[in-house]
């Protein structure tokens, strides 16, 4: 199989605080990991692409200083939402991929900023 986990599955935080979301590939080494965001009743939007050991590539319009991505190993990537505000409330989903083949997605993290 190809299993990707995320932690936490949901989080509530106060405005101005930072939140870290972990993404792990449990049974394979992921050359590349991706972070997506999904607002209610909308489709997934790619935020950034990260390769192990190198800086993430952000999509246009995504603030790299606000959404910090670290891909420290072939099985772990983290997304930190810094100084979160209510408009950052969303469903954050990661995916992971081997050197070839499809992306496998995590179950998602529901972030609510109050």
Partner 1 sequence: DAKTTQPPSMDCAEGRAANLPCNHSTISGNEYVYWYRQIHSQGPQYIIHGLKNNETNEMASLIITEDRKSSTLILPHATLRDTAVYYCIVNNAGGTSYGKLTFGQGTILTVHP
User: Which residues make up the interface to partner 1 (CB under 8 A)?
Assistant: 2, 4, 6, 30-32, 34, 36, 43-46, 49, 91, 93, 95, 97-108, 110
Contact 110, 8 (CB under 8 A): no
Q: What contacts 111, CB < 8 A, 6 or more positions away?
A: 10, 11, 13, 19, 21, 81, 84, 88, 89, 90, 91, 92
Cβ nearer to partner 1, comparing 77 with 95: 95
Q: How far is the CB of 86 from partner 1 (least distance, A)?
A: 20
Which CB atom, from 25 or from 81, has the smaller least distance to partner 1?
A: 25
């Amino acid at each position: 199989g190809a299993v990707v986990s995320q932690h936490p599955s949901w989080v509530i935080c106060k405005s101005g605080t930072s939140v870290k979301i972990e993404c792990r590939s449990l049974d394979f080494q992921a050359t590349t990991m991706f972070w997506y965001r999904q607002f209610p009743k909308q489709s997934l939007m790619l935020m950034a692409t990260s390769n192990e050991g190198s800086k993430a590539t952000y999509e246009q319009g995504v603030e790299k200083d606000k959404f910090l991505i670290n891909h420290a190993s072939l099985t772990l990537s983290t997304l930190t939402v810094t100084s979160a505000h209510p408009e950052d409330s969303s469903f954050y989903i990661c995916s992971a991929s081997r050197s070839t083949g499809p992306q496998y997605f995590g179950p998602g993290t529901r972030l609510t900023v109050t």
